[in-house]
């Protein structure tokens, strides 16, 4: 049976986030991105892959700052809108009705309705072909108390993040817990 296919990025699912940027003039922008990942722990860093034709790309180049806002499932409509409309001529804060909050370390605003926000400064940029990789150092993090458990840890049941499935283009809710880090320790044959 056929198993090998032409090379493609079949990592599925991926996170999906709302990234805010602010240029030197004009309104702040929101873009939906799925080419997103954790790339370093100390200092904490995340990467975003952005096509040069995006309005977001221009704003990132202008200011070198962005905020990663992690949505819950109730924001799936806003996620799709911000991923299908360009901020070049549209104010996506006005279009979606989400609320901009002032960030503490960078100029782009946070999205109040997202339970997690990370303020980032671009530390490295790498042109890869279709996309440019922006690696951002996380300068500040915000977490809604409503998604934290009694120990202050993020509780997935309260958060209800969205996963994106490239290729099939689905948004999915994150499902049941099936294990935890190190749960096999001492149990291997």
Ligand X SMILES: Cc1cc2nc3c(=O)[nH]c(=O)nc-3n(C[C@H](O)[C@H](O)[C@H](O)COP(=O)(O)O)c2cc1C
The residue ranges that bind ligand X (CB under 6 A) are 16, 29, 31-35, 49-51, 54-56, 80, 83-88, 164
Contact between residue 71 and residue 162 where contact means Cβ atoms under 8 Å apart: yes
Question: How far are the Cα atoms of 76, 83, 169 from residue 86, in angstroms, in the given order?
Answer: 17, 8, 19
Which residue lies nearer to ligand X by CB, 11 or 146?
11
Contact between residue 113 and residue 75 where contact means Cβ atoms under 8 Å apart: yes
Q: Provide the minimum distance between the beta carbon of 130 and ligand X in the complex, in angstroms, as a whole number.
A: 8
Q: Which residue is nearest to ligand X (CB)?
A: 83
Which residue lies nearer to ligand X by CB, 130 or 146?
130
Q: Provide the minimum distance between the beta carbon of 88 and ligand X in the complex, in angstroms, as a whole number.
A: 6
Contact between residue 12 and residue 165 where contact means Cβ atoms under 8 Å apart: yes
Q: Provide the minimum distance between the beta carbon of 154 and ligand X in the complex, in angstroms, as a whole number.
A: 22
Which residue lies nearer to ligand X by CB, 66 or 159?
66
**Which stretches of the chain are DSSP H helices?**
55-63, 76-82, 92-96, 156-159
Q: Provide the minimum distance between the beta carbon of 108 and ligand X in the complex, in angstroms, as a whole number.
A: 13
Which residue lies nearer to ligand X by CB, 1 or 168?
168
Residues 6+ apart with CB under 8 A from 129: none
């Amino acid at each position: 049976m056929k198993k090998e296919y032409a090379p493609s990025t079949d990592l599925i699912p991926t996170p999906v986030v709302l990234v805010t940027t602010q240029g030197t003039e004009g309104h702040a922008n929101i873009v939906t991105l799925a080419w997103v990942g954790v790339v370093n722990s100390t200092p904490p860093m995340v990467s975003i892959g952005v096509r040069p034709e995006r309005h977001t790309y221009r704003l990132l180049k202008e200011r070198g700052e962005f905020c990663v806002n992690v949505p819950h499932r109730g924001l799936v409509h806003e996620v799709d809108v911000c991923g299908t409309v360009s901020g070049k001529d549209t104010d996506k804060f006005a279009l979606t009705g989400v609320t901009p909050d002032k960030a503490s370390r960078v100029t782009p605003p946070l999205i109040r309705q997202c339970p997690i926000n990370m303020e980032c400064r671009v530390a490295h940029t790498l042109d890869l072909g279709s996309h440019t990789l922006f690696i951002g150092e996380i300068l500040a993090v915000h977490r809604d108390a409503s998604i934290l458990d009694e120990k202050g840890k993020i509780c997935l049941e309260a958060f209800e993040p969205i996963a994106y499935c490239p290729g099939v283009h689905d948004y999915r809710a994150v499902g049941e817990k099936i294990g935890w880090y190190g749960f096999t320790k001492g149990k291997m044959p």
